[in-house]
Amino acid sequence: MTPGTPGKGLTRLRFIFTGRVQHVGFRYTAYYFSRGLYITGWVDNLPDGRVAMEAQGAPMQLQKLLSRLKGQFEIDHVAVEKMEPLPHERGFHVRGY
């Protein structure tokens, strides 16, 4: 699958990260990892110090993204919610800058 190409087997997940995830480059690292894994979506800081991210792609790629982020940052908790895929979404974006 090429970047941003709609396809079967897409999964979309909403993550809420708790821990040391703001002011440490989390959003831009998530952007970098997501682009390399052909994941679409967005990431944004929340006012309470957590980070929200919606990510869409192949399930194995989403697992790789989560593993890489956990290996890079002090994440205390990750809440995950499955969402409906957005088949025409393109790219991954950092919100709130």
Q: Report the number of distinct structural domains present in the chain.
A: 1
Domain-located, residue 67: yes
In a domain, 95, yes or no: no
Minimal CA–CA distance to 74: which of 50, 46, 96? 50
Render 23-75 in DSSP notation, one character per residue.
SSSHHHHHHHHHHHTT-EEEEEE-TTS-EEEEEEE-HHHHHHHHHHHHHHSEE
pLDDT for the residue 96: 81
**Is 94 domain-assigned?**
no
- 45 labelled catalytic: yes
Q: What is the pTM of this model?
A: 0.88
Catalytic residue among 12, 20, 27, 50: 27
Spot the catalytic one: 20, 45, 68, 95: 45
Contact 14, 54 (CB under 8 A): yes
Print pLDDT tens along the chain (97 aa). Answer: 444 444 568 999 999 999 999 999 999 999 999 999 999 999 999 999 999 999 999 999 999 999 999 999 999 999 999 999 998 999 999 998 6
CATH number of the domain at 30, please: 3.30.70.100
Q: Say if strands 51-57 and 11-20 run parallel, antiparallel, or are unpaired.
A: antiparallel
The boundaries of the domain holding residue 23 are 11-86
